[in-house]
């Protein structure tokens, strides 16, 4: 009798303990389900049966949780990740060494006039920027500026291709934009500012349509074209289809001058002459003008003495030099020789493609000169996004 009573009492206690255990476990389950786990702690996996014997170190049922592997823990700090990526980047080291321009800029007319006078005394840009009948009369000889051993006799057939005189002789604009093609211009919002100038120089038939208008604008007064583009892109204009394509592609620049270099290398002469002929035949609004090899040689020599240790100056530097003679205030856009911006963002070579630059140029040396002239108030260079 006593044994049965004892067994009955123990049974009640065990039943009570089991109920209490279930209640506690249910509370723990609800806690885990609705409690937001902290970073790095175990996360809820699912609703599994509870085994009171399998508890993790926090007292939670281990079967309900699974550990997040350390390798899966990803930082959300993009700056930290970027710093790690840039740590061993040699180009980033160079960019960090580039001083910033003066935070405020104002045009220094005195300094600009002194510089302009010095440059004009050597280069005579207004008369010699392009080849004319005046600076290369009939019977004279043209020496190629890159292929120095080559010569061209100015016969009547050659001479008649030249304008009588330079259209830039009496040109004096109050404000000019010179547009380089750096990837820095991508999403720069500089289009309106560029187009606000009285005269706009552009390089290498860079695109100005579609999405690029917001980046670089569309106004064009002078654009350069490498003669080899006639060979490579337009198949030497050998058929009507290629001629029409060339006319269509150049028409986007409006009534502008196309500055080409027929007297850099001998092979460039025929390409340039052919392009000029096609524009005239199809009555294009564009006019091809020929870079003067004498002017180009003098520009090369001038900037070498200033510290540009390149075999040949870039097209951009030739245009900047010309603009400083033709314009009162000169504003540069897209002149940035690195593939990273000042905060380490990746940049393409150009705002429209990623083709490598010619090794003959020393663009960092040229940038230093642009920056020096900016700090002196001679010109303005933009290395950030436009407002």
The catalytic residues are: 361
CA gap 323, 303 in Å, rounded:
15
Measured CA to CA in angstroms, residue 177 lies from 60, 207, 273, 387 at distances of: 69, 16, 28, 16
Question: Contact at 8 Å (CB) between 173 and 324?
Answer: no
Give the tokens for residue 30. Answer: 């609800």
d(CA 338, CA 206): 19
Q: What is the dihedral of CA 191, 196, 197, 199, to 10 degrees?
A: 80
CA dist., res. 135 & res. 274, Å (int): 22
Tokens of 387: 């407002």
**Token pair of 383 as six digits:** 């290395």
* Angstrom distance (rounded) from CA 14 to CA 57: 27
The helix/strand/coil state of 229 is: helix
Alpha-carbon gap, residue 379 to 266, rounded angstroms: 35
Residues 6 or more apart in contact with residue 146 via CB below 8 angstroms: 264, 265, 312
Q: Are 266 and 293 in contact, with CB atoms under 8 Å apart?
A: no
């Amino acid at each position: 009798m006593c044994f049965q009573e004892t067994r009955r009492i123990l049974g009640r206690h065990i039943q009570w303990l089991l109920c209490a255990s279930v209640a506690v476990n249910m509370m723990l389950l609800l806690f885990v389900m609705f409690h937001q786990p902290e970073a790095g702690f175990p996360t809820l996996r699912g609703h599994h049966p509870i085994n009171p014997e399998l508890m993790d170190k926090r007292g939670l049922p281990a079967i309900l949780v699974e550990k997040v592997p350390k390798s899966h823990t990803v930082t959300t700090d993009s700056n930290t990740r970027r710093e790690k990526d840039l740590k061993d980047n040699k180009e980033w080291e160079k960019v960090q060494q580039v001083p910033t321009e003066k935070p405020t800029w104002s045009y220094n007319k005195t300094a600009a006039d002194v510089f302009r006078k010095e440059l004009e005394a050597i280069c005579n840009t207004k008369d010699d920027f392009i080849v004319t009948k005046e600076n290369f009369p009939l019977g004279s000889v043209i020496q190629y500026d890159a292929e120095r051993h080559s010569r061209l006799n100015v016969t009547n057939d050659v001479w008649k291709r030249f304008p009588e005189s330079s259209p830039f002789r009496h040109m004096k604009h109050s404000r000019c934009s010179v547009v380089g093609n750096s990837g820095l211009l991508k999403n720069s919002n500089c289009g309106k500012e560029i187009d606000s100038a009285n005269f706009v120089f552009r390089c290498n038939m860079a695109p100005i349509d579609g999405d690029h208008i917001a980046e670089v604008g569309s106004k064009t007064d002078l654009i350069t074209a490498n003669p080899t583009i006639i060979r490579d892109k337009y198949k030497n204009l050998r058929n009507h289809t290629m001629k029409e394509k060339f006319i269509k592609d150049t028409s986007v620049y409006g009534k502008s001058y196309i500055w080409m270099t027929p007297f850099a290398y001998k092979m460039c002469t025929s390409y340039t002459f052919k392009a000029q002929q096609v524009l005239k035949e199809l009555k294009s609004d564009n006019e091809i003008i020929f870079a003067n090899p004498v002017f180009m040689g003098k520009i090369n020599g001038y900037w070498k003495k200033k510290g540009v240790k390149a075999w040949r100056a870039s097209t951009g530097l030739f245009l900047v030099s010309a603009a400083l003679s033709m314009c009162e205030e000169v504003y540069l856009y897209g002149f940035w020789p690195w593939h990273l911006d000042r905060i380490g963002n990746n940049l393409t070579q150009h705002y429209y493609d990623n083709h490598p630059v010619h090794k003959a140029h020393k663009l960092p040396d040229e940038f230093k000169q642009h920056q020096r002239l900016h700090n002196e108030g001679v010109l303005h260079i933009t290395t950030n996004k436009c407002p």
